[in-house]
């Protein structure tokens, strides 16, 4: 969940938990490789729909 929070640039909320669980489940099938976690975060809706900060 820390990786997801870092990638999103915000604290995780309760609605992020299903995505976190899916990422962990998929990583489990890949022997918990770091690349599985990173790919899971990048593929998540929360990350793909993240808005860039504007100055």
Could you tell me if residue 30 is inside a domain?
A: yes
pLDDT digits (tens, 9 = 90+) for 34-46: 999 999 999 999 9
CA torsion, points 34, 40, 13, 47, in degrees to nearest 10? 120
Range of the domain at 25: 2-48
Give the distance between the most distant pair of CA atoms in the chain. 41
Q: What is the value of pTM for the model shown?
A: 0.79
Residue 53 covered by a domain:
no
Residue 13 CA to residue 31 CA, distance in Å, equals 27
Count up the domains in the chain and report the number. 1
Percent of residues, the chain, with pLDDT higher than 90: 85
DSSP code of 15?
Answer: G
Q: Tell me, yes or no, whether 55 lies in a domain.
A: no
Q: What's the rounded Cα separation, in Å, for the pair 18 and 15?
A: 7
Helix (H, G, I), strand (E, B) or coil at 30: coil
């Amino acid at each position: 969940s820390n990786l997801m929070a870092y990638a999103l640039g915000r604290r995780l909320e309760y609605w992020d938990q299903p995505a976190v669980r899916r990422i962990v489940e998929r990583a489990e099938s890949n022997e918990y490789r770091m690349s599985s976690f990173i790919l899971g975060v990048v593929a998540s809706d929360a990350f793909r729909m993240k808005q860039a900060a504007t100055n």
